Structure 1
């Protein structure tokens, strides 16, 4: 069954954040679309929490054979200092949630353009909250209740999330049995010119030649390089300079992700607020991307110059990690703007391209540190600043937010 919208017969070229069409808005409180965003938030929460918990309990299980595990021992299950694990990928957390490209297929058909940032932000922020809770409580639960209890608690919560997903999440508003009719008409009319039920093949050649698409991929790569350095090497730097091993502090381990969770939500709402003030969609995307790149890379750059103050150094590190999430309503959801029909594939492809930095950044940084022990740290942070800035400039020049020609519906013609 297909439902006609009020704009179904109109031209399909200008449905963007600054578009002229303004379908009657449905309330957001107790709405189906925000309920789905919350369910995705919970699912992302448990996915990341279970990843972190696996590390913690592995250490607790080993320690259990010889002595009672302590909280510090448990949190040491997060290798690579305090903020990340290269094997379990909290180090790439800001993009990890975004790397689950499959979930963005939901927002192709559930997110009105003026609410896209906040709906995606609510969903993705679950990854950050999951990291916080797992780091803060995983060791305590293992110590007080025993390590099997961690699996029971988080596993049981995962089963609840699975049931909620199966019962309450549907492909689109048309097939949802309990959605309010006003909300259904609002969502369908908002997306009528962007998404069509007709399945079309990927225009691979056109995508390869698309500068807006490449600008998105390059910017994601450069930003992930920065995040990898912040998560992996900045805590090691602080430990080496101040002789303080902060990985044994559960609170300091979780603090960057607490800040990032708050910033992700606030930044997403700010992006949609700017759209209501007649900012162009492309302007909002680029503002969010700048705010998520420039402060983080700048704080990291000045880190070696505040070696005399431990509090300032830790604060800069925490803010660098947290402010990076302002990119979420920017470049990281740009695929929903330029190619809503193919956004799931583009999200996955851009995240896969960005994760190349997870291999290159540690390799290059390790080489720089081994070659120049005196100025190695400064070189690592400076290189991250340069790479991040170049990727940002490339996106600012070539980034777009309107549906590209190759992503529009193509009608078959007979010659």
Structure 2
């Protein structure tokens, strides 16, 4: 039985995945989004989301994510509740398998599995998420204007975010596991933190518990040397102990960095042709809803161009019944333009050979696959196979020799 083949399959239904779905479907690609849980990802659990452009005070994460999903469905995106367990990403058609035993086939894939803030499992931590417990100062700092907050962590992110929080909060207390004066952050950030009158430190300590009635009101801090428990009034707790990308299932499938994040270029291309990645699981500088949807848009746009390039090359070259002479050229390269003109003028010398002209820079995937690094370049295909080639400067006799093997 012939399996249904999707033009674009998106793994993950967070902001990045849904944005990729919108851009894919709007480009008339048959698009499916696989999401194991609630669409919207972390953003769908953020009660207030006021820094997404176009949505001011009072906007909620669940509300914005609901709108994005409805937008995607309006363009024809199909959502399936599936957890991806295995992928075969090499080849023209990608195969994605799920926990339910389903198998999906797609011509292009966007990976948007997201990342989760590393949690510590402290008593009250989970219960107060979105109610005083946060993992993002950029997202939530303005909710604590003239209030007091606690920061857990002492690396670069923790100290830099604590400094950012002082723009809003009246007092920022950093709980540090090390002895007094020892931080894991870079020296420049340490100096700024020490010089900031709003920042206070509690040394040799860890957070033991978070308490409150509906909202965070108090924390319990444990001194590691004495074991003493101390209560502290506070309005919020910010955790900065790192993120964990949801990429365990991608090991050996696409290139990941040492921390498990997906390595992509500016087009969101991964190490595998036809496979893109977007959102918080990417190796990137800023993890926010606005950057996630931007990644998704770029990934889907790039996937659309990839599919058009692949389909055109397959139709014109690989599926051709006659031999095909493919000339790679570039509009800014005079020598390649002369080569195209020469071949055009003497095309009658090769009556049984089809001529196809390809702009190197508009078709970089095809060029890369056949290792075309300079123009002009002439590649001869027969029955879909590359049988001969000339790279660089060429003459009429070179072209004659190229075709002579047929």
What interval of TM-score do these two structures reach, taking the shorter chain for normalisation?
under 0.3
Q: Which is strand-richer, 1 or 2?
A: 2
**More relative contact order in 1 or in 2 (CA 8 Å, sep 6+)?**
1
User: Based on CA coordinates, which of the two structures has the bigger radius of gyration?
Assistant: 2
TM-score with structure 1 length normalisation? 0.25
TM-score with structure 2 length normalisation? 0.25
